[in-house]
Structure formats: structure tokens, C-alpha cells
């Protein structure tokens, strides 16, 4: 990365005796879209508030646009925020809301009007809305007004605190699409806090997964999805299957992996750090639901097979999800099959399912 | 066995009826006063004998009427100013902050509302008399104003507190984020959003002070406010000038109360819909 | 809504707290202490003597006359509480249910009546209750008896005035309690098969208790100081404590006595408040949370 616009290193944040952040480091490049993801209470919102200047760091260093942010109030930072509940001023019209940051900068009236109008156009908002109050707009429209207010002063970084969590699914999708386009057009750096990994995968260039005040993994959506750092990350991202495995030893620069539950030859799997998998502790194969299918006949070479009973199935439109109960596994195996006219199996039917270990990913706890 | 429908109708009628009866109860003396203000007779018996405005003229010609109006207006204006400012500050301290002795602060600032006004007046009168002996002053309009401020501020505080309670603090964060200084946050966001509550508290305070008898009666010394003027008048003998005075009192008061409530409710509604749809 | 946790070194907090705290200290708490102090003084030739004497207290406790009046005051206050609650509850209930749409307008009308000059309103009641007043005219007009009611200048007249001036308080406290009840709770009760009346007694009434109690206490405490009503509408025939206090100051110029009677009345009120607070706190944890 050339020069990051945000450079946070070893940020520690204590609330009284409770430590909310345990030395978090994060770099955000100019024009990059980074998503902070994690379960509630993981510290993602705290980190965002520290970036915005609503919270001071207890320890660690934060630089934005190359300047140390210690003691710099929110008002003077090159960041603007879109709040979770939007925080539109109920007593100001749409135009006054959007133009507010410019008014504070003592920009002339005519110039404010011009830029407010161009923001409305950018956000595909009707110009008739200028004199309305926020309460008179729909949820999606309020969202756009909040975005317009945050973007009008052309901040270096836009911070978004779960701004779409309250919208219904359809509206959410369309706003997500627009947000991504907006990011591409403006070239501003975006930092998005969300607990919805699907949203993060759709929008972000890089995802930072947090847990209990620590960064667990930072990487591209593909990294996070197919090469999660551990079971927490893997489990956090959508539905997934874990198959407990034994590692019998190193082999050809990889690891020999087998499982008593499956029929098939032990496979040789790649692993970044071989020694990590040779010790004690549980190991598991991460198998995405779309990487498993029904088997007709015997498994081919390089395939592993499990037998089980169909527990339940769900038609999801483009895909059909099956849940298969396998003896020896706690949770049913989840499989996503392409949708079809005919159902391949009924509930209660005994089935064989298979997958290629090469398309799975080896994890240790 | 009564049908459910019939039962519901009975309950509804009883409910609506009780409200109508209560309003009639509340307005019986008020409307009676208005009716009697237009009587043409000196004797206050019902039904009134014919229509006239003579008692309004009589009232205005009474020599101690205008001084009482001026006294009442002065007291009400000054008390309102103090009660609104103190009440607003107090409401913010009640709701927005947490501090040591906060509960004590809450109890002490709320207590005058729980105090029978007469006793409040008496207690303060004793203090002012003792103080007056030491510092050589006697009770008058200033002590009335102090008494009104002590009595009325808790009311103002409660009204503003409702507004502060409904206040979304992230709006202040949003203003700060947009680049506002502390003063700009207050001017642009905090004050405009609290204003409807402060305004209706001020109206409430004004009318409470304007119509206050007990505290003024104890603390006014030789000065007279309107209620004291009326009290000493009716103690001597009733006259249709008091209904006329009452009628003159009602019209502006009703307008003020209506306006204040309208503004307060509109603002609360605006705020709540803005939050609920987001 | 989050509360900011602040210490005393925040200048804004000091600015918010200090002026009001000082006003209440100097003009409310100190006068109260002063009044207590005064009860231990004596008067000679209408002049206050600074001593330390229990004379007034022995006088008060030995004269049944004072206690008759005190008891009458408390009795009137209790009756006033019952009537006020009975009047206030149906209205508050109607404003949160059947008449919800008009609740704002009706409340303005009630607030307005409340804010009107008490002396004028009380005088208005004279015109209503007089032998030749509106009430008697209405009764004979409706053919409900030729003989006029004599309410004016009786304890009934006093009571009408007291209820009139105080019923607004429980109306609002009960209204606030009722308005806060989650509508789904009521629906859940209907859903469980309860009738409207059953639901009222099983759900609505118990949940409105905080408002009911606080309204009752407010009426009780405030009616201890009723002065205009017994004086103007009761005609002074059966004086209440306030009249006694006024006399000891104005007619007898016996400040220590007036102060002591005031303190007795305040003590009765404070005791009631404390008992009620303990009772409500114990019965409804919701009330505790609300206050916290």
C-alpha cells in the first residue's frame, strides 16, 4: 500500500476497567473500501468512533492523512460519518440538513445551494424534497439524505455505522448497489461497520474481521471466504460445514489428512504453516455448502464420501438447500444445490454425499 | 345475557360521558363567570338580567385595578424568565448527566411542587421577615418573585425534562461530525430541539405566576397582584366586576396555552417520526 | 438514551446545577430549617424572643382544639383523594383509549382550566352554588325539586372546591401511567380470551398503579394546605389547618405557634410521602426503574 489514508496502530481503548480494544492495527488506503465485521460487542463500532473522533484512544497511534489525530476533535477531522440511526436533524429541511457542514464552513449561500442540488442529483433524490422535513421521507430516502450530508464537504474518509441495518431486504440490496457505485465514482475511502458479512463481501475491497476487541483477520472477500484464518471466521461467514479430521503427518510439503467418518483415501492438503497442524488440538475441514453434492454410485478418485439421512430441505429459488444428518457429526451437513424441477431426495431418505478435499480448507482451532 | 356489542357500547358511552362530565365540572365556574360578566344587574343571581358591558367599564375605573395588573405582569414576566432558565438548566442536569448527589438534587428541586402553596408561602415569609429584620427590608414584589420562582421552577423543569428525555444525543454527535463547535452545536441543534419544551414551560410558568394567589398572598406585603386584588375584593363583597376581570383573563390565556401545546406536540411528533422510520 | 457520566469538573454541569441548587437552598431549605428553629422561640408583647423553649410544642400537644382541626384537615384530604381519583381515572382511561384521537385537545382544555386564577375560579363556584346560583336554577329548571340546595358555606362546598382544584394532578399522573402501557399487553389479554372488563382489572389497572399512587399522594399532600376553599366556599364555618395557621400569624401574631402548626402539617405530608414511596417502590419495581 502506498500511503494509507488511515493508519491506526496498536489502538487500545479502555472504558474504566473494561478493555474494549486490545491493540488493534488497521490501514486503509486512499480510495479503498474497508468493512469492519464482527458480532456485536467485538469493538467494531468503538473503532469507528475512534476514527471519527467521538472517542479518544487510551493507547496507540492514529494518523489520518498523515496527521496525528491525538486531541483533534471530530469537527476538525477529515472524516464524516453516516450514523446508524442516521441522526438527521428533525427541525431542519432536507436542504438545510445536507448543506449544514458547508454552512459551518461559512460557505456562501449560493454556493451551498448549488452543491446541495448536485448532491441530490448524485443521490437520485427528487429536487422537490429540498424543503421537506426528514420525517416526511421514506427510510431509503432518509438514508440518501444522510449520505449526502456526509459527502457534501468532500471528506477524505466516509465512515458508515451499520447505516442499512434497519431497512427491509429489497431496499437494502438496492442501496448497497448504489453505495458501491458511489464509492467507485467518488474515489473516497469508505469504512463500513456491519455485522452482516454478506454485505461486507458485496461492498468491500478488504474485510477486517474482529472478535472481542481484536482483529482476527484482514483480507479480501475471497481470502475471508475461502481461506479463513480460523473456525471463528469461517463460521461467521454464512452457513458452513466443519468436518473433524485427523492429521497423520507431513507429506510432500503438505499434510496427510483423514477422517474416520468418510470413505475415501486420506488426502494431502496444503497448509500455510505446517507445524501449526501437527500438534494437539482439534482440526477440521471447512466445506462450503456449494462444494458438496449427492453421489450416484461410488466416489471417484480424490473424492470423499459420507452417508446420512435427509433431515430437511428448503427451496430457495435459485438453489435448494438440503440438510443431511450424518452419524458422528453434531450438526447436519448443509448443501446448496442448483435449483431444479425435480427434487433429488425426500426427507428420511438415506443418501450418499461427496466432496473433493481439494476444495475444502484445513483449519485448526 | 347482554351481547358483547351492547356491552362495548355501554362502556364507550360511560367513558365519553365521564370526560364530558369532567369538562363540564372544570368549566362550570369559568363559564359562569363569563356569563355573569355581561349582566346588567348588580346582584349576582342566575339567570342574569339582560346584557351589558358596564362592569368592564367599572372594573377599569377602579383605582387599584391597573396597579395590580402592572404588578402581576411584572411578577409573571420576571418569574417566567428565571423559572424557564433555571428549569431548563435543571432538566438538563436531571436527564443528561450523572453526578454525585444527583438524587438529592432531584428531590430538592422537585419538592416545592409537592408542597402546599400556603405552607410554602408561610415558610418563606418567616425567612424573609427574619432576613428583613437583619438586612432592613420588607416584603414586596421582589419577595413575591422569589416565591414564584421557587414554586414554579419545578413545573418548568418537568415540562422541559420531557423534551430533554426525547432528545436523541447522536444528533449532537452528527453536528460535531459535520464540523460544528460547541457553541454551534448548541445553537443549531440542542436549543432548537429543546425550544418547544422551553416555550411551553415558559407559557405554563407565566400563567401559573399570573394566577398565583397563595404565594403572593403571603409574600406581597403591601403590594397587590391581581389574585390578591380579587381576594380582598370578594372578601368584602361580591361584584360583577370580578366576572368581568375573569373573562378578560381567559381569552389571551387560552390562546397562549393552545399555541404552546401546538408547538410542543408538533416538535415531538416530528422528532419521533424521524426516529421511527429510520 | 444514554446518560453522560460526568464529574464535578465539567463547567457545563456546574452551570446547570449550581444556580438552581443555590436558589432552592437559600429560599426553600434554609427557610424550612428556619421555621423549625422558630418553633422553639417565644413571643412577648407580639415580639419574638430568641430563646430555646419547648413551650409551643407543649401547648400544641396539650390543646385538643388544634388536633380536632388537624384531624378534620386530614379527613377532608382523604375524602378529597378518593373523590379526585374516582373522577380522574375514567377520564384518564378514556383519553388513552376511546378518546385517544382528541386527547391532545381535551388535555389543553383541562390544562387551561387548571392554569386559570384559583381565586377567580373559586369565586365562580360561589356563583354556581349560591342559593340563587346556576346549579339551583338548573335543578328547578329540570324540575328536580323546588327547594334550593344549600351547598355554599358548608363542608360540601369546601370539598367541591378542593376536588375541583386538585383532581387535575391524578388525572395527569394516571394518564401518563396508562399511556405507557404497551398496547400489545392488552391485546394479549384479549387474545387469551379475557373480556374488556376482565382485561381492565387484570392488566390495565395493576399497570397503572404508579400513576394512581402518585396522584393520590399529590392530592393528599396538596389538600393539607387548602385555604381558599374552606374560607370562600366553606364560609369559615369549619376551619381547616390553614386557617389556624393564618390566624396565628395575622390575628394572634404568634409566629412560633404558626411555625409549629406549619411543621406539623408538613410532617404529616412528608410522612405520607415517605410511606407511599416505600409502598410503591416495594410493590412495583417498574416505578423504581422509572425514577432511577
pLDDT digits (tens, 9 = 90+) for A214-242: 999 999 998 888 888 888 888 887 788 88
pLDDT at C292 over 60: no
pLDDT band at residue C284 using 50, 70 and 90 as cut-offs: low
Running DSSP on this structure, what letter comes out for residue C97? T
Of B22, B93, B243, the CB nearest to C13: B93
Chain A 284-343, CB below 8 Å of chain B: which residues?
A: none
- Looking at the complex, does the CB of residue B270 fall below 8 Å from at least one CB of chain A? yes
**A94-114 pLDDT, tens per residue?**
999 999 999 999 999 999 999
Q: What residues does A14 pair with on adjacent strands?
A: A19
Which residue, among A88, A90, A139, A154, would best test binding to B if mutated, counting the most B CBs under 10 Å from its CB?
A: A90
- Looking at the complex, does the CB of residue A226 fall below 8 Å from at least one CB of chain B? no
pLDDT band at residue B275 using 50, 70 and 90 as cut-offs: very low
Q: Please give the interface size between B and C, counted as residue pairs whose CB atoms are below 8 Å apart.
A: 284
Handedness of CA A142, A145, A149, A150 (dihedral sign): positive
Of B178, B192, B278, the CB nearest to A139: B278
Which residue, among B169, B178, B187, B275, would best test binding to A if mutated, counting the most A CBs under 10 Å from its CB?
A: B178
Cβ distance B250 to B30 under 8 Å? yes
Q: Confirm whether B26 is domain-assigned.
A: no
pLDDT of residue B25: 92
- Looking at the complex, does the CB of residue C9 fall below 8 Å from at least one CB of chain B? no
Subunit contact C94:B18, Cβ cutoff 8 A: yes
A294 three-class SS: strand
Nearest to B171 by CA among C263, C10, A87: A87
Roughly how many angstroms between the first and final C-alpha of chain A, as a whole number?
Answer: 31
Handedness of CA B131, B133, B135, B138 (dihedral sign): positive
B222 three-class SS: coil
Handedness of CA A85, A91, A95, A98 (dihedral sign): negative
Helix (H) or strand (E) holding C111: helix C103-115
Subunit contact B173:A83, Cβ cutoff 8 A: yes
Roughly how many angstroms between the first and final C-alpha of chain B, as a whole number?
Answer: 49
CA distance A271 to A276: 9
Nearest to B158 by CA among B87, B256, B82, B260: B87
Q: Residue A182: CA atoms inside 13 Å, Cβ hemisphere, count?
A: 23
**C37-80 pLDDT, tens per residue?**
988 887 776 666 777 888 888 888 898 989 999 999 999 999 99
Subunit contact B188:A54, Cβ cutoff 8 A: no
CATH number at residue B167: 1.10.3720.10
Higher pLDDT among residues B269 and C133, named by residue: C133
**A235-274 pLDDT, tens per residue?**
887 788 888 888 877 777 778 888 888 877 778 777 666 6
Among A153-157, B233-237, C22-26, whose mean pLDDT is lowest? B233-237
Residues with Cβ < 8 Å from C41, sequence gap 6 or more? C48, C49, C50, C51, C53, C56, C255, C256
Higher pLDDT among residues C233 and A300, named by residue: C233
Q: What average pLDDT does the segment A178-201 reach?
A: 91
CA distance B228 to B216: 7
Buried/exposed C264-289: b ≥16 CB within 10 Å, e otherwise: bbbebbeebbeebeeebeeebeebee
Q: What residues does A251 pair with on adjacent strands?
A: A254
**B152-189 pLDDT, tens per residue?**
999 999 999 988 888 888 899 999 999 998 889 989 99
Subunit contact B114:C4, Cβ cutoff 8 A: no
pLDDT band at residue A180 using 50, 70 and 90 as cut-offs: very high
Residue B98, min C-alpha distance to chain A (Å): 16
Subunit contact B179:A75, Cβ cutoff 8 A: yes
Of B170, B181, B184, the CB nearest to A87: B170
Q: CA of B62: how far to CAs of B55, B78, B217, B233, B255, in Å? A: 10, 26, 20, 11, 27
Subunit contact C130:B245, Cβ cutoff 8 A: no
Subunit contact B271:A90, Cβ cutoff 8 A: yes
pLDDT of residue C291: 46
CA distance B91 to B105: 11
Q: Confirm whether B224 is domain-assigned.
A: yes
Handedness of CA B273, B276, B277, C1 (dihedral sign): positive
- Looking at the complex, does the CB of residue A99 fall below 8 Å from at least one CB of chain B? no
Q: What average pLDDT does the segment A129-153 reach?
A: 91
Q: What average pLDDT does the segment C245-253 reach?
A: 83
Residue of chain B with shortest Cα separation from C195 = B4
Nearest to B139 by CA among B153, B127, B156: B127
Among B44-48, B63-67, C119-123, C197-201, whose mean pLDDT is lowest? B44-48
- Looking at the complex, does the CB of residue A75 fall below 8 Å from at least one CB of chain B? yes
Q: Residue B134: give the domain boundaries.
A: 62-276
Q: What average pLDDT does the segment B25-34 reach?
A: 91
- Average pLDDT across chain A, whole number: 88
> How large is the greatest C-alpha to C-alpha distance in chain C, in angstroms?
75
CA distance B45 to C147: 16
Residues with Cβ < 8 Å from B13, sequence gap 6 or more? none
Q: How many domains does chain B have?
A: 1
pLDDT at C232 over 90: no
Roughly how many angstroms between the first and final C-alpha of chain C, as a whole number?
Answer: 13
Q: What average pLDDT does the segment A162-187 reach?
A: 88
Residues with Cβ < 8 Å from C222, sequence gap 6 or more? B114, B116, B117, C166, C169
What is the arrangement of strands in the sheet containing A189-194, beginning at the earlier edge strand? Answer: A79-82, A157-161, A189-194, A33-37, A206-211, A214-219
pLDDT of residue A250: 76
Residue of chain A with shortest Cα separation from B176 = A75
Q: Confirm whether B33 is domain-assigned.
A: no
Q: At what angle do helices B191-210 and B241-276 cross, to 10 degrees?
A: 160
pLDDT of residue C3: 42
Of C1, C113, C134, the CB nearest to B26: C113
pLDDT band at residue C145 using 50, 70 and 90 as cut-offs: low
Residue B186, min C-alpha distance to chain C (Å): 12
Nearest to C246 by CA among C236, C235, C237, C258: C258
Running DSSP on this structure, what letter comes out for residue B278? -
Higher pLDDT among residues A88 and B6, named by residue: A88
What is the arrangement of strands in the sheet containing A319-325, beginning at the earlier edge strand? Answer: A293-294, A350-355, A304-315, A319-325, A333-338
pLDDT of residue A2: 63
Q: CA of A287: how far to CAs of A112, A226, A231, A239, A250, in Å? A: 54, 9, 11, 10, 21
pLDDT band at residue B12 using 50, 70 and 90 as cut-offs: confident
Residue C62, min C-alpha distance to chain B (Å): 23
Q: Residue A137: CA atoms inside 13 Å, Cβ hemisphere, count?
A: 29
Higher pLDDT among residues B42 and B111, named by residue: B111
Domains and CATH numbers, chain A: 4-233 (3.40.50.300), 239-364 (2.40.50.140)
- Looking at the complex, does the CB of residue C23 fall below 8 Å from at least one CB of chain B? yes
Nearest to B35 by CA among A283, C128, A222, C220: C128
Residues with Cβ < 8 Å from A9, sequence gap 6 or more? A25, A60, A61, A62
- Looking at the complex, does the CB of residue B179 fall below 8 Å from at least one CB of chain A? yes
Read off φ and ψ for residue A307, nearest 5 degrees: -115, 145
Residue of chain A with shortest Cα separation from B171 = A87
Subunit contact B181:A54, Cβ cutoff 8 A: no
Q: Residue A131: CA atoms inside 13 Å, Cβ hemisphere, count?
A: 1
Cβ distance A278 to A250 under 8 Å? yes
Q: The domain C63-291 is classified under which CATH number: 1.10.3720.10, 3.30.300.130, 1.10.287.1080, 3.40.50.2300?
A: 1.10.3720.10
Of B176, B189, B278, the CB nearest to A89: B189
Running DSSP on this structure, what letter comes out for residue C4? E
Higher pLDDT among residues B111 and C288, named by residue: B111
pLDDT of residue C74: 94
Q: What average pLDDT does the segment B208-234 reach?
A: 90
Among B32-46, B56-70, B123-137, B204-218, whose mean pLDDT is lowest? B32-46
Angle at A23 between CA A17 and CA A29, to 5 degrees: 140
Running DSSP on this structure, what letter comes out for residue C99? T
Q: What average pLDDT does the segment B97-115 reach?
A: 89
pLDDT at C282 over 70: no
A33-37 vs A206-211, strand pairing mode: parallel
Higher pLDDT among residues A325 and B41, named by residue: A325
Chains in contact with B, where contact requires at least 3 CB pairs less than 8 Å apart = A, C
Residue B255, min C-alpha distance to chain A (Å): 24
Higher pLDDT among residues C24 and C50, named by residue: C24
- Looking at the complex, does the CB of residue B191 fall below 8 Å from at least one CB of chain A? no
Cell numbers for B82, please give them.
Answer: 428565571
Running DSSP on this structure, what letter comes out for residue A359? G
**C167-218 pLDDT, tens per residue?**
999 999 999 999 888 888 888 888 777 777 888 888 888 888 888 988 999 9
CA distance C212 to C210: 5
Tell me whether 0.95 is exceeded by the ipTM.
no
pLDDT of residue A272: 65
Of B11, B36, B109, the CB nearest to C24: B109
CA distance A122 to A116: 10
Q: What average pLDDT does the segment A32-58 reach?
A: 91
pLDDT band at residue C146 using 50, 70 and 90 as cut-offs: low
Domain boundaries in chain C? 63-291
Cβ distance B132 to B138 under 8 Å? yes
C244 three-class SS: helix
Cβ distance C91 to C171 under 8 Å? yes
Of B8, B242, B253, the CB nearest to C115: B253
Q: What average pLDDT does the segment C142-149 reach?
A: 69
C51 three-class SS: coil
In C, which residues are within 8 Å of B23 by CB distance? 106, 109-110
- Average pLDDT across chain C, whole number: 84
Amino acid at each position: 500500500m502506498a500511503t494509507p489514508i488511515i493508519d491506526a496502530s496498536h489502538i487500545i481503548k479502555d472504558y474504566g476497567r473494561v478493555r474494549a480494544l486490545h491493540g488493534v492495527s488497521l490501514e486503509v488506503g486512499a480510495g479503498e473500501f474497508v468493512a469492519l465485521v464482527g458480532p456485536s460487542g467485538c469493538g467494531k463500532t468503538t473503532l469507528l468512533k475512534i476514527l471519527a473522533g467521538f472517542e479518544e484512544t487510551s493507547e496507540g497511534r492514529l494518523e489520518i492523512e498523515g496527521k496525528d489525530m491525538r486531541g483533534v476533535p471530530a469537527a476538525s477531522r477529515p472524516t464524516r460519518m453516516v450514523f446508524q440511526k442516521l441522526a438527521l436533524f428533525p427541525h431542519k429541511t432536507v436542504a438545510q440538513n445536507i448543506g449544514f457542514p458547508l454552512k459551518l464552513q461559512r460557505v456562501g449561500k449560493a454556493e451551498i445551494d448549488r452543491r446541495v442540488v448536485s448532491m441530490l442529483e448524485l443521490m437520485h433524490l427528487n429536487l422537490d424534497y429540498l424543503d421537506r422535513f426528514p420525517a416526511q421521507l421514506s427510510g431509503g430516502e432518509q438514508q440518501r439524505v444522510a449520505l449526502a450530508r456526509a459527502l457534501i464537504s468532500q471528506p477524505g474518509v466516509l465512515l458508515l455505522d451499520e447505516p442499512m441495518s434497519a431497512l427491509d431486504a429489497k431496499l437494502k440490496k438496492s442501496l448497497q448497489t448504489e453505495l458501491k457505485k458511489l464509492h467507485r465514482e467518488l474515489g473516497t475511502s469508505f469504512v463500513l461497520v456491519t455485522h452482516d458479512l454478506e454485505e461486507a463481501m458485496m461492498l468491500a475491497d478488504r474485510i477486517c474481521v474482529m472478535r472481542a476487541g481484536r482483529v482476527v483477520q484482514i483480507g479480501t472477500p475471497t481470502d475471508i471466504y475461502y481461506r479463513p484464518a480460523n473456525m471463528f471466521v469461517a463460521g461467521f461467514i454464512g452457513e458452513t460445514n466443519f468436518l473433524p479430521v485427523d492429521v497423520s503427518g507431513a507429506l510432500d510439503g503438505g499434510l496427510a489428512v483423514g477422517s474416520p467418518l468418510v470413505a475415501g483415501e486420506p488426502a494431502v492438503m496444503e497448509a500455510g504453516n505446517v507445524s501449526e497442524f501437527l500438534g494437539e488440538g482439534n482440526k477440521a475441514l471447512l466445506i462450503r455448502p456449494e462444494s458438496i453434492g449427492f453421489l450416484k454410485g461410488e466416489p471417484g478418485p480424490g473424492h470423499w464420501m459420507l452417508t446420512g439421512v435427509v433431515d430437511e430441505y428448503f427451496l430457495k429459488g435459485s438453489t435448494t438447500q438440503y440438510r443431511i444428518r450424518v452419524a458422528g457429526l453434531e450438526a447436519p451437513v448443509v448443501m446448496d444445490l442448483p435449483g431444479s424441477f425435480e427434487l433429488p431426495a425426500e426427507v428420511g431418505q438415506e443418501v450418499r454425499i461427496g466432496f473433493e478435499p481439494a476444495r475444502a480448507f484445513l483449519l485448526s482451532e | 345475557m347482554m351481547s358483547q356489542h351492547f356491552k362495548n357500547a355501554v362502556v364507550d358511552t360511560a367513558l365519553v360521558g365521564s370526560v364530558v362530565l369532567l369538562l363540564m365540572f372544570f368549566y362550570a365556574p369559568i363559564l359562569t363567570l363569563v356569563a355573569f360578566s355581561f349582566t346588567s344587574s348588580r346582584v349576582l343571581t342566575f339567570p342574569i338580567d339582560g346584557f351589558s358591558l358596564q362592569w368592564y367599564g367599572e372594573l377599569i375605573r377602579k383605582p387599584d385595578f391597573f396597579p395590580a395588573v402592572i404588578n402581576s405582569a411584572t411578577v409573571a414576566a420576571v418569574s417566567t424568565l428565571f423559572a424557564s432558565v433555571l428549569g431548563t438548566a435543571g432538566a438538563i442536569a436531571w436527564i443528561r448527566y450523572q453526578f454525585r448527589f444527583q438524587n438529592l438534587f432531584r428531590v430538592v428541586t422537585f419538592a416545592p411542587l409537592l408542597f402546599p402553596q400556603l405552607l410554602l408561602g408561610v415558610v418563606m415569609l418567616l425567612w424573609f421577615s427574619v432576613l428583613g429584620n437583619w438586612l432592613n427590608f420588607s416584603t414586596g414584589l421582589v419577595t413575591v418573585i422569589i416565591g414564584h420562582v421557587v414554586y414554579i421552577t419545578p413545573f418548568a423543569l418537568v415540562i422541559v425534562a420531557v423534551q430533554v428525555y426525547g432528545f436523541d444525543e447522536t444528533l449532537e454527535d452528527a453536528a460535531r461530525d459535520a464540523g460544528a463547535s460547541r457553541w454551534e452545536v448548541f445553537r443549531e441543534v440542542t436549543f432548537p430541539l429543546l425550544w418547544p419544551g422551553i416555550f411551553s414551560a415558559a407559557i405554563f410558568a407565566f400563567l401559573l405566576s399570573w394566577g398565583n394567589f397563595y404565594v403572593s398572598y403571603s409574600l406581597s406585603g403591601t403590594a397587590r397582584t391581581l389574585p390578591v386584588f380579587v381576594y380582598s375584593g370578594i372578601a368584602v363583597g361580591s361584584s360583577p366586576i370580578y366576572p368581568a376581570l375573569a373573562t378578560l383573563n381567559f381569552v389571551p390565556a387560552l390562546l397562549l396555552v393552545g399555541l404552546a401545546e401546538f408547538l410542543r406536540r408538533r416538535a415531538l411528533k416530528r422528532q419521533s417520526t424521524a426516529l421511527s422510520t429510520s | 438514551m444514554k446518560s453522560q457520566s460526568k464529574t464535578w469538573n465539567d463547567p457545563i454541569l456546574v452551570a446547570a446545577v449550581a444556580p438552581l441548587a443555590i436558589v432552592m437552598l437559600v429560599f426553600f431549605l434554609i427557610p424550612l430549617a428556619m421555621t423549625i428553629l422558630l418553633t422553639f422561640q417565644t413571643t412577648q408583647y407580639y415580639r419574638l424572643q430568641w430563646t430555646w423553649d419547648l413551650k409551643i410544642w407543649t401547648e400544641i400537644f396539650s390543646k385538643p382544639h388544634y388536633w380536632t382541626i388537624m384531624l378534620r384537615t386530614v379527613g377532608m384530604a382523604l375524602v378529597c383523594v378518593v373523590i379526585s381519583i374516582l373522577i380522574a381515572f375514567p377520564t384518564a382511561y378514556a383519553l388513552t383509549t376511546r378518546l385517544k384521537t382528541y386527547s391532545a385537545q381535551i388535555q389543553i382544555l383541562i390544562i387551561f382550566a387548571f392554569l386559570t386564577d384559583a381565586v377567580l375560579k373559586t369565586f365562580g363556584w360561589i356563583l354556581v352554588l349560591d342559593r340563587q346560583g346556576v346549579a339551583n336554577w338548573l335543578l328547578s329548571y329540570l324540575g328536580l325539586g323546588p327547594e334550593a340546595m344549600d351547598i355554599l358555606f358548608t363542608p360540601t362546598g369546601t370539598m367541591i372546591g378542593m376536588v375541583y382544584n386538585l383532581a387535575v394532578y391524578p388525572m395527569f399522573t394516571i394518564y401518563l401511567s396508562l399511556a405507557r402501557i404497551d398496547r400489545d399487553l392488552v391485546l394479549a389479554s384479549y387474545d387469551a380470551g379475557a373480556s374488556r372488563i376482565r382485561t381492565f382489572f387484570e392488566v390495565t389497572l395493576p399497570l397503572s398503579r404508579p400513576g394512581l399512587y402518585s396522584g393520590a399522594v399529590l392530592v393528599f399532600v396538596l389538600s393539607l394546605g387548602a385555604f381558599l376553599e374552606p374560607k370562600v366556599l366553606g364560609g369559615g364555618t369549619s376551619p381547616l389547618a390553614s386557617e389556624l395557621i393564618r390566624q396565628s400569624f395575622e390575628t394572634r401574631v404568634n409566629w412560633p405557634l404558626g411555625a409549629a402548626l406549619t411543621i406539623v402539617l408538613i410532617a404529616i405530608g412528608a410522612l405520607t410521602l415517605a410511606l407511599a414511596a416505600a409502598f410503591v417502590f416495594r410493590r412495583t419495581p417498574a416505578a423504581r426503574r422509572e425514577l432511577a
